[in-house]
Structure 1
Amino acid sequence: MFFIYKLVFVSTLFMGTLITISSYSWLGAWMGLEINLLSFIPLISMKNNSFSSEASIKYFLIQALASSIFLFSVIMLITKSKMINELFIFNKILFMIMNSTILLKLGAAPFHFWFPEIIEGMNWLNSLILMTWQKIAPMVILSYTIKNSMFILMIIVMSTFIGSIGGLNQTSLRKMLAYSSINHMGWMLSSFLMNEIMWIIYFIIYSFMSISIVLIFNSFNMFLLKQLFMMINKNYLIKFFITLNLLSLGGLPPFLGFFPKWIIIQNLSMNNFFIVMFMIMMTLITLFFYLRICYSSILITNNEIYYNKMMNKMSFNKIFINITSFISINGLILYSMFINFL
């Protein structure tokens, strides 16, 4: 019964996103966002868990606020009069309000205040959905309205800055990945300055890396850095996969995470040189706290026994983790070999 309950809401969650993507009107896009929102809230809330209930209430309030302001701006666009058409500044402000509501739904800076707190109250699978699938519909809407303006450049700078600085003092793995997601959101928004296909490539690669690392954390019920340091003896292989996946998520070459950033740097360095340099410096800070975690987890030994029976049997979950980790770690090398072969 519980599985059917989850399956129904997951299917409507996917349907809401597909409605938004395939909609021809603003109201249809708004309706898809609402279906997506109302389907995700039952997935967040769990019985006998006050943290998930708090996260679901916070998520509903934030998303309902963003949806109401988005609906207001959509109605103003649909019913705009001749006088409003003549006011170019009013239209510009209206689109800025619409973009701000979408950025609030995405959790991009400076509208990021809810994102790490809500992820901290979820389990790993719900956090993965929030970091990946829940970004598709708002990003598609944003691709319709976004322009190369000072507003979006400011959002890119703030997202990369807050995403890198905010993750420095975190001991929670979920909050660390949340701030990393904010940093990656700045890179995804910068890909809009190139073309609409580039953000799709970046999003697919980011989603794949997030799935790879979240599956490992979920399999071992790891939520804190201390638990990462305790993986000793029989779990050296998983610790190796975790550290290299974190480096790939930070964008260290020659891992897969460096590939989309490489393309963005190459294409934007001619027109937005200072923005690209700032993004690179902020990404180096993100890479720094990933490197610090990797060095500590490898070098620090712990006498406490961290034992998990899953490692003693060859399960499908373990095979899938090994495959995704291998592609995430060697993705850029495999891509180079494929290009040379062609």
Structure 2
Amino acid sequence: MLKNISNMIFFSTLIMGTIISISSNSWLGAWMGLEINLLSFIPLLINLKNSLSTESALKYFLTQALASSILLFSIMLLSLENIYFDNSLLNWVLNSALMLKMGAAPFHFWFPEMMEGLTWFMSFILMTWQKIAPMVLISYCLIFNYSLIISILSIIIGSIGGINQTSLRKMMAYSSINHLGWLLSGLAISIYYWMIYFIMYTVILLSMVLLFNKYNLFFTKQLYSLSNYNPVLKMIIFSNMLSLGGLPPFTGFMPKWLIIQSLSNSNLFLISIMVIFTLITLFYYIRMIYSALMINYTQLKWIYFNELNMNWVLILNFFSLMGLPVISLLYMIF
């Protein structure tokens, strides 16, 4: 009971820190919001049943403390009117500190290793909510060319890094880095595109994380044996992976489609790089799906959805699998 109350307090403080950060009128207030968010997230990471969670919490603290110190240093220098520092250079440093906070490449070194020691729910918070404040702050001081360079590097490293992974948490971490590149490119166009992409990515990721958490799935070899007790579940998870990779006609393709349309007239080279390396992500998803579907099983019964017993999870899955046709139909009607 006491643990649940303390977790609720930490979660409310976590949300409050993000709100303070994105609604602050000064950079110092934004930094304070980030620190409140950090100090409330670290106790949530520690799980006494998992020895790796303490190591992950320490890695997160050290990385975020380094990024916060660089951020505060650049804020202090920007507030001083002197001739010793160029403001454009300080903007680059400030952007880099915020990139380090959310784990964008090439500042991603801590992110996959830390994810390995977390629960699925904490991993979901780290991949979604913890990226809101840094990305909103980046939109205030966005350097267009720098953000495009970081987005290309994130897409490349996120795609190549997940090829030979057997851990689902590390695979989701590299997938998050890949999507971070798309989010940064969407942010460079408009905050509207960023919001659409982030909301759809969050919904698709939530539907996957809930199923992973319910069935204690942590490694790819566990996915191969899902047909032993629920073949429908395996099809749902694999379809969500394809949606997360951005394969049409799944919902995950729609925000990518919007960004491709917006950048196709101005930066065709960037779009080509983004699409090519996103296809690599789809390649190792499809390779894993093909291997799992080709395995023969002794059980021949078809077990329906009664094992899931989670109606709201099925609603989320319906949105992530059928969102693009439904949205296209509504667009044609209205």
Class of the TM-score when normalised by the shorter of the 2 chains:
over 0.9
Shift of 1:43: 0.5
C-alpha contact (below 8 Å) 2:183/2:198 kept by paired residues: yes
Q: Deviations over 1:76-100 (max 9, x none)?
A: 111233x35xx6xx11110000000
1:221 alignment partner, SS class? coil
Cross-structure match for 2:104: 108
Distance in 1 (CA, whole Å) between partners of 2:298 and 2:178 is 35
Cross-structure match for 2:29: 28
C-alpha contact (below 8 Å) 1:231/1:239 kept by paired residues: yes
Change (3 A) 1:277 1:227: same
Cross-structure match for 2:277: 282
1:119 aligns with 2:115: yes
Q: Runs (4+) of structure 1 moved beyond 6 Å?
A: none
Distance in 1 (CA, whole Å) between partners of 2:144 and 2:57 is 35
Q: Deviations over 1:199-228 (max 9, x none)?
A: 111111111111011110000000000111
1:37 alignment partner, SS class? helix
1:336 aligns with 2:331: no
Shift of 1:302: 5.2
C-alpha contact (below 8 Å) 1:229/1:302 kept by paired residues: no
Q: Which runs of 5+ in 1 are unaligned?
A: 305-310
Change (3 A) 1:159 1:313: closer
Cross-structure match for 1:19: 20
C-alpha contact (below 8 Å) 2:230/2:307 kept by paired residues: no
C-alpha contact (below 8 Å) 1:230/1:301 kept by paired residues: no
Distance in 2 (CA, whole Å) between partners of 1:302 and 1:24 is 60
Cross-structure match for 2:210: 215
The residue identity in structure 2 corresponding to 1:40 is: F
| Equivalenced residues, count | 329
1:56 aligns with 2:48: no
Cross-structure match for 1:266: 261
Distance in 1 (CA, whole Å) between partners of 2:77 and 2:123 is 34
C-alpha contact (below 8 Å) 1:250/1:287 kept by paired residues: yes
Cross-structure match for 2:302: none
* RMSD between aligned residues: 1.6
C-alpha contact (below 8 Å) 1:173/1:224 kept by paired residues: yes
Change (3 A) 1:51 1:303: farther
- The structure 1 residue matched to 2:251, chosen from 227, 248, 256, is 256
Shift of 1:300: 1.6
C-alpha contact (below 8 Å) 1:202/1:260 kept by paired residues: yes
- The structure 1 residue matched to 2:129, chosen from 129, 133, 152, is 133
Shift of 1:312: 5.5
C-alpha contact (below 8 Å) 1:229/1:301 kept by paired residues: no
C-alpha contact (below 8 Å) 2:157/2:178 kept by paired residues: yes
- The structure 2 residue matched to 1:167, chosen from 162, 183, 202, is 162
Cross-structure match for 2:4: 3
C-alpha contact (below 8 Å) 2:228/2:297 kept by paired residues: no
Shift of 1:57: 0.3
Cross-structure match for 2:80: 79
Distance in 1 (CA, whole Å) between partners of 2:36 and 2:243 is 34
The residue identity in structure 2 corresponding to 1:166 is: G
Shift of 1:192: 2.2
**Aligned-residue identity in percent:** 53
User: Which piece of structure 1 moves more, 226-235 or 61-70?
Assistant: 226-235
Shift of 1:169: 0.3
TM-score by length of 1: 0.93
Distance in 1 (CA, whole Å) between partners of 2:127 and 2:54 is 19
C-alpha contact (below 8 Å) 1:232/1:301 kept by paired residues: no
Distance in 2 (CA, whole Å) between partners of 1:313 and 1:92 is 57
Change (3 A) 1:314 1:158: closer
C-alpha contact (below 8 Å) 1:16/1:33 kept by paired residues: yes
Cross-structure match for 1:308: none
Distance in 1 (CA, whole Å) between partners of 2:98 and 2:308 is 43
C-alpha contact (below 8 Å) 1:108/1:186 kept by paired residues: yes
Distance in 2 (CA, whole Å) between partners of 1:72 and 1:330 is 47
Cross-structure match for 1:204: 199
Shift of 1:313: 5.6
C-alpha contact (below 8 Å) 2:263/2:271 kept by paired residues: yes
Distance in 1 (CA, whole Å) between partners of 2:151 and 2:229 is 42
Distance in 1 (CA, whole Å) between partners of 2:190 and 2:103 is 22
